[in-house]
Amino acid sequence: MPRGDGARDAIAELMVATPLLEDVPAQAILGLAEQGRVRNYRKGTYLCHQGDPADEVFFLLGGRVEISSVSVTGNRVLHTTVDRPGFVGELGVLADSDRTASVLTLEDSEVWAVGADGFLTFLAEEATAARGLLRALARQVEANEAFVDDLLFLDLKGRVAKRLLQLATPSLDELPPDGVMIPAVTHADLASLCGGSRENVTRILSDLQRRGLVLRDGHRYQLKKVAGLAKIAGL
């Protein structure tokens, strides 16, 4: 990342490409970018822990992070991984509550951070950003409702196929091409995303490989036959 005005401009350029800020005037985004600081985190470093005060908003500039929490039963629950530039941790700031999840770097990452007060002031002054945030909240509610529907109406194999596709594309309205690689994911994490046991998910992945629908490469999978996965997922 360049220094000074160059860094500000580069950060603003990444921000304007996100759904949250796509309709916000460029000058306002430049002003927001100036308020924050860029930090570099080594792989395996926590940006924040579940239960911490939500006193900052993060923006991933480069790298990859995972968002997870520990349930009341002590089980780790993976919520998502983020490997594209975007905001992280903004919901806790809005709720004025402690962090409900931890954010961990999965590789060396560059992150912009701004204090909660600065971010909230920006939202109060920029109605288009506030509307963008409401859209993001609505999409999250829809995603949670869709996950509940999947638990009710899709068997585990269907849920595994659907999550593999979702790891490859931001929207299932447009399926990815055959041969796409998905980000690294362990069987345990995929089981958490699908609401199943690691053992059953491992058996399903082995079956999908046997049928030539996916190809394993370490912790990554190549989706060989997207249409076949979509059919199993009920899409």
DSSP state of 234: T
- Distance, in Å, from the CA atom of 175 to the CA atom of 161, rounded to the nearest integer, reads 12
pLDDT tens, position by position, 100-158:
889 999 999 999 999 999 999 998 888 888 888 888 777 777 776 776 666 667 788 88
Whether residues 61 and 135 fall in one domain: yes
Q: 202: domain CATH number?
A: 1.10.10.10
pLDDT given for residue 211 in this prediction: 92
- pLDDT of 180-216, one tens digit each? 888 877 888 788 788 788 888 899 999 999 999 998 8
Q: What are 85-108's pLDDT values in tens digits?
A: 989 888 888 877 889 889 999 999
- Return the structure tokens found at 196: 């199943």
Counting runs of H as helices and runs of E as strands, what totals does the chain give? 9, 11
Same domain for 136 and 55, yes or no, is yes
Cβ 82 vs Cβ 65: under 8 Å: yes
Listed as own residue / partner, the contacts of 133-139 with beta carbons closer than 8 Å and 24 or more positions apart are 133/20, 133/90, 133/94, 135/19, 136/19, 136/20, 137/91
pLDDT at res. 112: 95
Q: Are residues 138 and 158 in the same domain?
A: no
β-pair type (109-115, 214-217): unpaired
Within this chain, do residues 140 and 160 fall inside the same structural domain, yes or no? no
